[in-house]
Structure 1
Amino acid sequence: MKVLVINDYYSGGGAENVFRTTSELLLEDQHVEVEVFYGSNERTSPKSVFAYFFNRKIKKDLCHLLNNFMPDVIHIHNYYHLLSPSVFIGIRRYRKKHPELKVVFTAHDYHLLNPSSGLLRYKGKKAFRIPENFTLFQLFRSRLDYRGPLHSFIKKLHWIFAMHIVKVRREINLVICPSLFMNNLFEKRTRLKTVVLRNPLAFYQEGDFDNKVGTSEELRYTYVGRLSEEKGLHAFLHAFKQLTTKNKKVFLDVLGEGEEKEDLIVLCKALKIDEYVEFYGYLKGDEVKRILERNNILVLPSLCYENAPLSIIEGAAMGNIVMASNLGGMIELAKMTDQYYLINDWEKELVDVSEKVRNCQFVPNKVRDINLFDKENYKGNLIRLYRSI
């Protein structure tokens, strides 16, 4: 079986990690031939608005690869940032001569459902959640990009072009949903065939945490993810300020990069909590693991409906108590661990929840069924899905 794995970028965030892991795991199987196709090594913008809608070079390169490699399955992760809907035009053209071709799509966000991939609207740079029962009319009346009305308008046009002119959904045989939350939205809003398959973890629970700090000694929080407005870090830092006034043995490690990084550093100084907060930037898996092994609380204060944030499972696998927003896929992943708190308002609830954690005897957290996120389990299920379609 020949599989072509496609994504906008080679490196970047969670979707890129799953893209790389998918291709690497498939390469280990002696019965699968694998090729990868991506637009850029790192995150970058299209060269023009036209290329955002239709990238001629990408289409040409993809058609050349398809004709030479002749895949049985194409597995797409993301396409709409850089590759553009033109990849589906290339796939459709190839499919006319090879109707047996099947296309699998992993839904890392909500782009197939609406123009706002994160189910967010904006006033200025401030993000607001779109209701789960949204209508497209509501969305098209809203500003869907923090950069301004023009970018929002282009984003809406791009989605209309992709869904109603190119008709990308017609080329997809199966949608892989990494969460039940995402799967339920697809079942309600599309006729696409879906299946739930959890994303694979970068590392696993080992059981011994000799370097783990007890919560009665220090509260050591970790945030792992992109530093952007919808991740809720502004509100969390204000809540964290309240903690530092009550107890000096509280610390926050922020792991990740993003457009909000400098603003968050400035905010920490303004709140006079910079001595308690450390920004590490982007770290590789082993470095993230080392910090999670030491710290005792994993926080995910997102304002948006996170789909399947693996930081929750990885944090719990390293013994961290989970504190996450009571939204989207965060709920089901938190409930897959032994110790979790789902929070509606961080500024009102963080202090009380943290005191509960401090006053309880600390026992490292666990993931109840870590095998659901095992790489070999993911690879085996993926190959079975390819064969089933």
Structure 2
Amino acid sequence: MRVLVIHNRYRDAGGEDRSSQAEVELLRRFGHEVKVIERSNRQIDSYGWWERLRLLDRAAWNREALREVGQAVRDWRAEIVHVHNFFPLFSPAIHIGARQAGAATVQHLHNFRLICLNGVMLRKGRRCERCVGRTPVQGIVHGCYRRSVFASAVVAHMLQVNRCRDLWREAVDAFIVPGDHSRQLFIAGGLPADRLHVKPNVVDGRQRVGMDMTEGEEALYVGRLSEEKGVGVLLDAWPGIGHALTITGDGPLRSPLEIRAQGLPVTFTGALPADQVMARMQRSRVVIVPSICHETFGRTIVEAYACGKPVIASRLGNLPDIVVDGVTGFLVEPGNAADLADKAKRLLNDRELARRMGKAAHEAYQQGFTAEKNYQALMSIYRDALKRKKG
């Protein structure tokens, strides 16, 4: 099968970028031909004022990207166009270009951008669903995207233009959501339920089988350093823990978080390549996911499972569907530093408990998250998309 993959990379690489790359590698591993068209938000840094002004409109409907993708489909004879992120340098118009050129289209929903202006359903540190299924007026009023009324209006314009075109029904053959909780939110937001397929993000843990499950003395956080990820709550929980914490990742809050962590046994590594992230997981005793927003999936959890590590995660969004409380780790109340501290102490001070939960986590990975199982699910979605396109 010939698959054209489209992805708009973020300024600071995160889970979405890792997931899109992992899916490309999965397809190639199983013998499919894959062509990738990528753009990066770092390109915007070189834009002059006129290009930046044009981007305001092109984020909603980019005719050049529409033609580029359509031509790529025709030249390369792509059967599937799999879009991971289109915002802001491609726009939803690429689905029209792909379909007009004869390909079936698949939209991966890694975040909540189609139903929430900032994509994380968080406002002023609190979870928010006020724009789900509605015109996002509240998101504009509160400046939910980049804390700017103007920037929020640009995203709202993109959403409304394509809702009015009924693009999500007319030009997308299948949507992929990483968990059922996310699926229900997207249905409430107006996306067609019969095209929303649940498939977890792919994590290839083939090289992690048979490791020493008792290895590690410290805790690890991996992810973007931004408000919704709850790293501030994690730091609030850490005084008195008595064990080291490594924070891997980058983002807009890195500097203030580093200042906040002064005097604590906390190390910031910045963003690291995937192989180094997995190596650090192997050297850790527990991985912590303290999100205060609805996570669409929780890729870090599955990576930890592949490494045989228990996880402490917020009882929120799709995370409780992955972490079995008291079996593969612990669930904690979102934003509750005392609860997080208690669970962290239990795992960091009890090697045997960590080993037992890590073994259960690795078994959970083998049962539900291997690359082979993920590939089978992806092929089923592709077949459904092709059938709908022809039908």
Q: TM-score with structure 1 length normalisation?
A: 0.84
Q: Secondary structure at the match of 1:36?
A: strand
Q: Secondary structure at the match of 1:332?
A: helix
Matched, 1:197 2:195: no
Alignment map for 1:219-230 (pairs within 5 Å): 220-230=218-228
Identity score, percent = 25
Q: 1:297 & 1:358 partners in 2: Cα distance?
A: 7
Alignment map for 1:116-195 (pairs within 5 Å): 116-122=118-124, 127-131=125-129, 134=132, 136=134, 138-139=138-139, 141-165=141-165, 167-188=167-188, 189-192=190-193, 193-195=195-197
Cα distance change on mapping 1:255 and 1:358 into 2, 3 Å: closer
CA shift at 1:196, angstroms? 1.4
- Report if the CA contact (8 A) 1:203-1:289 is conserved: no
Cα distance change on mapping 1:289 and 1:336 into 2, 3 Å: farther
Q: What is the aligned partner in structure 2 of residue 353 from structure 1?
A: 343
Q: What is the aligned partner in structure 2 of residue 231 from structure 1?
A: 229
Q: What is the aligned partner in structure 2 of residue 206 from structure 1?
A: 209
Q: 2:184 & 2:120 partners in 1: Cα distance?
A: 16
CA shift at 1:369, angstroms? 3.1
CA shift at 1:73, angstroms? 1.6
- Counterpart amino acid of residue 347 in structure 1: A
Q: 2:16 & 2:214 partners in 1: Cα distance?
A: 31
Q: What is the aligned partner in structure 2 of residue 369 from structure 1?
A: 364
Q: 2:40 & 2:348 partners in 1: Cα distance?
A: 45
Q: 2:181 & 2:93 partners in 1: Cα distance?
A: 29
- Report if the CA contact (8 A) 2:325-2:331 is conserved: no
Q: 1:68 & 1:106 partners in 2: Cα distance?
A: 24
Q: 1:68 & 1:258 partners in 2: Cα distance?
A: 38
Say which of 110, 122, 142 aligns to 2:112: 110
CA shift at 1:139, angstroms? 4.4
Note the alpha carbon deviations across 1:249-307, whole angstroms, 9 max, x for none. 311101111111111111112xx32xx11111111222112211121121111111011
Which aligned segments of 4 or more residues in structure 1 are displaced greater than 4 angstroms? 41-47, 132-135, 137-141
- Report if the CA contact (8 A) 2:220-2:287 is conserved: yes
Q: Secondary structure at the match of 2:176?
A: strand
Cα distance change on mapping 1:350 and 1:22 into 2, 3 Å: closer
Q: TM-score with structure 2 length normalisation?
A: 0.83
Matched, 1:264 2:289: no
- Report if the CA contact (8 A) 2:61-2:93 is conserved: yes
Q: 2:275 & 2:214 partners in 1: Cα distance?
A: 15
Q: 1:69 & 1:369 partners in 2: Cα distance?
A: 39
Q: What is the aligned partner in structure 2 of residue 83 from structure 1?
A: 90
Q: What is the aligned partner in structure 1 of residue 382 from structure 2?
A: 386
Q: What is the aligned partner in structure 1 of residue 275 from structure 2?
A: 286
- Report if the CA contact (8 A) 1:121-1:145 is conserved: no
CA shift at 1:146, angstroms? 3.5
Q: 2:380 & 2:155 partners in 1: Cα distance?
A: 36
Q: 1:196 & 1:40 partners in 2: Cα distance?
A: 27
Unaligned runs of 5+ in 1: none
Matched, 1:65 2:61: no
- Report if the CA contact (8 A) 1:114-1:136 is conserved: no
- Counterpart amino acid of residue 65 in structure 1: A
CA shift at 1:132, angstroms? 8.3
Q: 1:93 & 1:182 partners in 2: Cα distance?
A: 29
**Which shows bigger deviation, 21-30 or 306-315?**
21-30
Alignment map for 1:95-106 (pairs within 5 Å): 98=102, 101-106=103-108
Note the alpha carbon deviations across 1:206-250, whole angstroms, 9 max, x for none. 23327713xxxx5x2100011111111112212212x25xxxx31
- Report if the CA contact (8 A) 1:202-1:285 is conserved: no
Q: What is the aligned partner in structure 1 of residue 292 from structure 2?
A: 303
Note the alpha carbon deviations across 1:6-57, whole angstroms, 9 max, x for none. 1112992222222222222223344x43222222396757842233233344
Q: 2:284 & 2:30 partners in 1: Cα distance?
A: 36
Unaligned runs of 5+ in 2: none
Q: CA RMSD in A?
A: 2.8
- Report if the CA contact (8 A) 1:255-1:283 is conserved: yes
Q: Secondary structure at the match of 1:185?
A: helix
